Structure 1
Amino acid sequence: QLDACVEVDGRLLNDGAVLAYEIDRQHSMEKCGAGMGGESMELFGVIESLPDGGLLGDWTVGGETVVVTETTKLEAEYGPFQVGSCVEVKGVLQDDGSLASYEIETKPMSKCTPGTPGDDSGLFKFYGIATSGPGTPNHAGTWEIGNRTVIVTATTVIDEEHGPLQVGSCVEVYGQLADNGEVTATKIEVESASGSCLSADGARHAATLDDGPVSPGTIVSLFGLGIGPASGAMATPQNGVFPTMLADTRVLFDGHPAPVLYASKNQINVIVPRMVEDRDETHVQVEYAGAWSNVLTLPVKRLAPGLFTLSGTGRGQAAALNYDDGSYTLNGPDNPVERGDVLVLYATGAGPMAPVDGQVMTAPKPLDGARVTVLIGGKRARVLYAGAAPGLVDGVVQLNVEVPHDAPRGAAVDVRVEIDGEATPGGVTVAVR
């Protein structure tokens, strides 16, 4: 969104634009000269107001201000987004108390009626680190967790399976949100007593932000609290290979260290190691400065392809290049590709191609024996190349395709890729003329 502090890593194009293959929002604004919050939160609530003329802007959900931008992933499975709809909001708490959303889904109304019938005040769920507590034997009293005041009563369920509830614990809070911002907790789950924890659905496909199965060689983003350095760190390849330790941060899959591309206190970008390929599930844990997070158990599948998009959500305009007369320019409504010309797409989730996890690819290497299909506007494109992206890390797949002469024209023409029967999610587009 506007005014967000980001770090961009990418390729400079002939027209001066940058094709970004990684953009990381900085949860600490030190590099940009300002400050912001960074607590991951989820909110169930009824939409009370929407912006005039569309969905982008400030919503009011369950009494809370929710900021929706072009990068917010919107899923209307249980009906349209309108005043009175029940929604689940996932986002990051800002210093002004608003919630910068990265995903909103419509839900059945039962999800927004936790108490008596007609009570639409909303269920509130968030992750936070306990910074102060009452010191009572049964934990009852006033706690400060994240940026919230939490009231614990004698009826609050305390789950201490993964450690004691104490100052410094990373916890998930469920409760009722009051008008003054306080949360009366119905349940508190201790995720980790170390002050470092991964969100329950915090493992997401880096291209699509989906939280489904992981696959070997895929770039994934892990979200949580206290899982890396406050200011964020970008990895630099060492002898052509990305490191498994970055700024005192490492990620283990079944005890095996994985290449780390980026690490911050709330997000880590990592490559799933090839050693998980014959497993049905994998156990992921983060170590930062000697503190261990909770363990996430994730399902594994062989392939999970997803196209990179300019929004970073796996929806909307693809991160695609037009190739013409030896030069590359960024595809988009103001610069559509001609039918019959070459279009370059980028994806992840097609499996590893290098012998070493995290290796930077120095030359083209086609996907071994893979059946690759690309449809543009429902028309089959001729695949000229599908494989490693030279200059980028193993895990990024480059697809060079010839746009069909009968492809539909438009500023947002659907594009889909299928690799060995596994298709990329819908909603990705390119511009064609």
Structure 2
Amino acid sequence: MKKGIGFGIFLLAWIGLMLTACTTPPASREGTATRWEGTVEAILPDGLQVSGRLVRWTGQTQILGDLQVGARVEVEGAPADGAWNATMIRVQSSGGSVAGTAGGTMVSPLPTPILQMEFKGVVEEVLPNGYRIGGRTVMVTATTRVEGPIAVGTFVEVKGVLQPDGTILAFRIHVED
């Protein structure tokens, strides 16, 4: 009986490790190239947030397919300075294959220019993933820098990126005096 329980615990731990490996970038030394998959959580001015990790792009990064929040992507790159510097980002279709033209690739330099926003307002409501500030929905992620305690009625300054759905993805929220 004890052998069966021990094997069951081992099997559950092994399955958990395998599931984590599917979405977590492998631990690589800085500068060592690697490839991993994840889900786009946010489109930022200089990159993406993919499954909790910051992925930076440059003018040299190849982007295959149409990037959007919620898309599954395969990232090739190397870790550097707490983020991943992407050399290639492939958007996967719903069937799991790489999106693109009949030839297999659709290369674009960078996605559509991103509109950065900065505004001040009063926090009207606390939402599950953000706030309602000055009549606007402001989303926060693990990479959002929140400076000061935020509550309903607090006057804040927001810096962020306008998303396609009209929400603002904040990269900084600062409590104003």
TM class by shorter chain equals 0.3 to 0.5
By percentage of residues, which structure has more helix?
Answer: 2
TM-score, normalised to structure 2's length? 0.42
TM-score, normalised to structure 1's length? 0.19
With a CA cutoff of 8 Å and minimum separation of 6, indicate the structure with the bigger relative contact order.
2
